[in-house]
Chain A
Amino acid sequence: MQTYDVAENGLRGLNAALQAQSDETNQTSWEVQNPKGSHAIAVGLDAPIEVTVKGSTGYYCAGMNQQATIRVEGSVGPGVAENMMSGTVVVEGDASQYAGATGHGGLLVIKGNASSRCGISMKGIDIVVHGNIGHMSAFMAQAGNLVVCGDAGDALGDSLYEARLFVRGSVKSLGADCIEKEMRPEHIEILTDLLERAGSDAKPEEFKRYGSARQLYNFDVDNAAAY
C-alpha cells in the first residue's frame, strides 16, 4: 500500500505519482490522505491500480480516468469522473453537479445522491446512483446507461440521444424528446448487471426505462416549440 498525504505534499506530486503507474506496476494499491476538498484529485490516471481517497474532494475528482479503480470515502464536488474512459469510480457519499459528465466509458457509482446534471452529455459511461438525482440530468446524453435507484428531478433526459435511463422512483418531469419506453428482456439484463456491479440490492423489475423519442433528430418546423 502506497500512501500520499495531499495536505503535506501537494496535488502535483500526487497526480504525477499516480499517472506514472503503468500496466505492469506492482504499486497497485494507493491511499490518498487529507484530500480536504482539493480539486482535480487523481485525474488522468491510466493504469489498473486501486486508489482510495480518505475524505471528501472538490471538483473533477477522477477526471478522465482510464483503467483505475478510485474509491472516495466521502463526498465529491462537481464533475466527478468527468469524461471517464474506463475503470471504476465509487463515491461513498454524495456527488455535486455534473457527475460523470461526458464520460465515454467505465462505471461510476454514487452511493448517496447526485445533484443536477448528473450524466450530462454522457457518451458511453455507466452511472449508478443509489439515491436521487437532480434536475436536467442526462441532458443531451448520447450513449451509456444511467441507473437511479431513487427519484429524478425535473427535465430528465432533455434532448436525449441514445443513452438509456432507468429510474426506480418518481420522475418529476421529462425533458424534451424523452419518453418512457418498454422494458424488454435485454434491458433487464443490462440493469441486473449494473446493479450487481454497483452493490445495489434494488430489483430490476422495479425500474422504468426512459429514452429518446427521436423526434428532434432532424429539424421539423412542426417541432419548433421544442427547440
Chain B
Amino acid sequence: MKDTDQTIPRTLPIQSATFTNPINAEIRRAAATGIYDIRGGGAKRKVPHFDDLLFLGASVSRYPLEGYRERCETSVTLGTRFAKKPIELDIPITIAGMSFGALSGPAKEALGRGASMAGTSTTTGDGGMTPEERGHSSKLVYQYLPSRYGMNPNDLRKADAIEIVVGQGAKPGGGGMLLGQKISDRVAEMRTLPKGIDQRSACRHPDWTGPDDLEIKILELREITGWQVPIYVKVGATRPYYDTALAVKAGADVVVMDGMQGGTAATQDVFIEHVGIPTLACIRPAVQALQDLGVHREVQLVISGGIRTGADVAKAMALGADAVAIGTAALIALGDNDPKWEAEYQKLGTTTGAYDDWHEGKDPAGITTQNPELAARLDPVEAGRRLRNYLKVMTLEAQTIARACGHNHLHNLEPEDLCALTMEAAAMAKVPLAGTDWYPGKAVF
C-alpha cells in the first residue's frame, strides 16, 4: 500500500521553550501599542524562596516547648541604636509602605486599623501622610522618598519612625510611577502635580548622592525631629552586604531589605522580573554585614518581599532578621484578587489571582483605585478586621514553629533550625541541604 499524506507519521507541533505563548503575546502587544508593559505587584517568576527551606524541629538533642501552654514571645523593638523613642511592636510583622494614590483612602485606613489592632506599625508611601492614615495608625512610619511629594516637617514630626527609601525590591534603581488614571484632584494636590498626568517619581534623592551624603541627610532629619524617632533605611535587594554596611555607616537605626518578590504599585514588567535578587538571597549577606560591624540586633533588620505565612516569618527570623514587612499579602487580606470579583476580572481580561493592572485604577475590590465608586466597595472596618486576623494567624503559625524548635521567643530561632530542599536555597540561605551537613560554598575542612 502506498503511503498517503494522511498516513505518513508527522511530528507533533512543538511549542518553543524560548518563544513561549506568553512571550509571543507580549511581542504582539508591544508591536501593537509601542509601550512597555506596566503592572503592579512583584516578580512572578519562580525563584528560590522560603518554600525551599524546612525547619528541623525538636529531636533527641533538643526538646520542644508545649504548643499551647508555654509562652513564646513575639515582641520586637525597632530603633534602639540612636532614637530616644524606639518603636515597640507586639509582633514582628509590619505593614510595608504603600501610598495613598496607589491605594484608595479606605484601603489605607484599613491597613492602619488592622495593623493597630494587631499591635504593629504601618507605613506611608510616595505622596505623603493623610490625616486619616495618621488617625487610624497607632504606629506610623513616614517614608522619605526621592520625590518628596507631600513632604513637610509637620508630618515628619508626627511620625513614629522615618524610613529613607533608597529603593524597593520590585525595582531597585527605579522611581515610582502613578499613571494619570489615578491622579485625582486630591492626589494631584498632595503631590503638587497637574491632574491626570502620568507621574514618574525620581529614582534617586534630589539632595544627596552617596553614603557620605546620606550620613549628613540622616543627621539633618535627626536634628529636625530632635533625635526622637528611629530612622530606617530601605533598600531594594541587590548588593545586600554592602548596602547594609553602608546604611549602618550612615547612621541607620534599622535596615529594611526588600527582595524582588516585593510589590510595587506600577512599574515596567521587565524591571520587576529582571532587576534585583530574591528575598531569600539577601538575608544572610545583610546579617553578615551587621555581624561583621558588631551591630547585629543593635541595628535591626527588617526583611520584605514575598512574605505570606507564619512559616515565612519564622524562616526570615531564623536567618537573622528582626522583623518582616508585608505588602502584597496585606492587600490580599483586605480583599485584593478575591474570587468574588471574578466576573469583573474577566471583563478586564484577567482572572482572580492574576489581576495586576493596579495602575489602571479599575480595581474591582476597591483597593488600588482612586475611583470613588470602586473605593466605596471596601469597608475599612471589615477589611481592617480581616488584616488583624491574618496578622494574628501568621504570628500563631510562627509561634507554633518556634515552640517546635524549642524556642520561647521568635528571636531565638536560628539558622541551625533550618535545612534546605534545593542546592540553590542551601547556597543562598547558607543552611545545609536536607540530610547533609553541607551547603554550596561551605568549606569542607
Contact = CB atoms under 8 A, between A and B. Distances in A.
Given A83-B152, A143-B192, A60 B206 contact: no
Given A40-B223, A44-B224, A83-B151, A142 B193 contact: yes
Nearest to A14: B223
Given A104-B152, A217-B198, A15 B223 contact: yes
B35 A221 contact: yes
Contacts of A12: 223, 227
A85 B196 CA distance: 25
Contact of A59 (B152, B191, B213, B226): B213
B137 to A, nearest CB: 22
Interface in B121-154: 147-148, 151-153
Interface residues of B, number: 31
Interface residues of A, number: 42
A66 B153 contact: yes
A54 interface: no
Contacts of A63: 220, 224
A63 B153 CA distance: 9
Interface stretch (A118-126, A164-172, A190-198): A118-126
A60 B216 CA distance: 8
B202 A40 contact: no
B399 to A, nearest CB: 42
B208 interface: yes
Contacts of B224: 15, 19, 43-44, 63-64
A111 interface: no
B192 A44 contact: no
B207 interface: yes
Contacts of A121: 147-148, 202, 206
* Chain B binding surface SS class: loop
Nearest to A79: B207
A44 B157 CA distance: 10
B409 interface: no
Contacts of A79: 207-208
A218 B35 CA distance: 12
A102 B223 contact: no
B367 to A, nearest CB: 24
A138 B35 CA distance: 28
Contacts of B225: 44
A14 to B, nearest CB: 9
Given A19-B226, A123-B148, A60 B192 contact: no
Contacts of A40: 216, 219-220, 223
B220 A43 contact: yes
B153 A44 contact: yes
A78 interface: yes
A64 B153 contact: yes
Interface string B204-224: 001110000100110110011
24 contacts: A12-B223, A16-B226, A39-B216, A39-B220, A43-B220, A43-B223, A44-B223, A44-B224, A59-B213, A60-B207, A60-B216, A60-B217, A63-B220, A64-B224, A78-B208, A78-B213, A79-B208, A83-B152, A121-B206, A123-B192, A142-B192, A161-B193, A217-B194, A218-B180
Given A19-B226, A102-B206, A140-B202, 10 more contacts: A44-B223, A59-B213, A59-B220, A60-B216, A78-B208, A85-B152, A120-B206, A121-B202, A123-B148, A218-B197
